[in-house]
Amino acid sequence: AQSVTQLDSQVPVFEEAPVELRCNYSSSVSVYLFWYVQYPNQGLQLLLKYLSGSTLVKGINGFEAEFNKSQTSFHLRKPSVHISDTAEYFCAVSPGGSYIPTFGRGTSLIVHP
């Protein structure tokens, strides 16, 4: 069985500062990895995904993530955040061939002016 750990429940940061949201997973097989964002009172939407190939994945809104197989991590980064990035961020993992993604508990990114 796979699991996803988002190490920080809340990350406060000032506008224009860099940010990293951490995600670690456990799985005995190859995985597909995703980051989703949830704005207040909305559903989740995809930020980026890693299926195979280059370990550095670029997504929407200037976010990127790096897959590190040896550390079983898929941390999300943005070099300069905006107020509008304030949201809940979820990391998700699907073991190869599985129909069921597993989500982490989420990290609340709070961007202060």
Partner 1 sequence: IAGITQAPTSQILAAGRRMTLRCTQDMRHNAMYWYRQDLGLGLRLIHYSNTAGTTGKGEVPDGYSVSRANTDDFPLTLASAVPSQTSVYFCASSEAGGITEAFFGQGTRLTVV
109 contributes a contact to partner 1 by CB under 8 A: no
106 contributes a contact to partner 1 by CB under 8 A: yes
Which CB, 17 or 46, lies closer to partner 1? 46
The amino acid at 45:
Q
Do residues 23 and 75 touch, judged by C-beta distance below 8 A?
Answer: yes
- Choose, by CB under 8 A, the member of 8, 15, 22, 98 that binds partner 1: 98
95 contributes a contact to partner 1 by CB under 8 A: yes
7 contributes a contact to partner 1 by CB under 8 A: no
100 contributes a contact to partner 1 by CB under 8 A: yes
CB of 15 to partner 1, least distance (A): 26
Which CB, 44 or 111, lies closer to partner 1? 44
Task: Classify strands 107-112 and 56-58 as parallel, antiparallel or unpaired.
Answer: unpaired
What are the residues binding partner 1 (CB under 8 A)? 6, 9, 32, 34, 36, 41-46, 49, 51, 90, 92, 94-106
